[in-house]
Amino acid sequence: MAAAKKNNVVKIKVRHVGKFPLPSYATKGSAAMDLVAEVGRSTHIVQGMNELIPTGIYIEVPIGYCAKIYARSGLADKKGLCPSNAVGIIDSDYRGQVFVSLMNHSQVTQYIEPGERIAQLVLEKVEVIEWVEVEELEETDRGIGGFGSTGEKTAA
């Protein structure tokens, strides 16, 4: 069994090949764990480019869950670095090393140091979709209003 839930805790199997500590929660109320750069030396990311950064962990996400990789607000604010795909998703059937593709949105080359916190990892429950094809959908007040339409006022 890949996951056992006790006291709102899901146990995840992890293979750790790095020299830095496993990700952990910074505080009791933290929703995410910080992932660290498992690199042997300073790694540069040129402005406007992205770099695949290893974390040194392989995880077994249970079926019915996914792990998501989010930006660290401090890294994004101070260095302009965030995941290049906005949110990375680790599926339950992936068994490779967890990498973070960091994009440099700043105007200068940025550096990632060994063991630096580079992203956040969150475990989320996944609901499976089963499509039910219909000819029409239920009406709503919003209807087909597109991007930004919820704040628009209609003329009287």
Q: Residue ranges per domain, the chain?
A: 13-129
| Positions in the chain short of pLDDT 70 | 1-6, 149-156
Residue appearing with tokens 């063991």: 115
Give dist(CA 76, CA 96) in Å, integer: 26
Class of domain 13-129: mainly beta
Residue 14: per-residue pLDDT: 97
- Rg for the chain, CA atoms, rounded: 20
DSSP lists the bridge partners of residue 34 as 120
Residue 16: per-residue pLDDT: 97
**Residues 80, 102, 16, 14: is their CA dihedral positive or negative?**
positive
Helices (H), the chain: 73-79
Give dist(CA 43, CA 71) in Å, integer: 18
Residue 155: per-residue pLDDT: 53
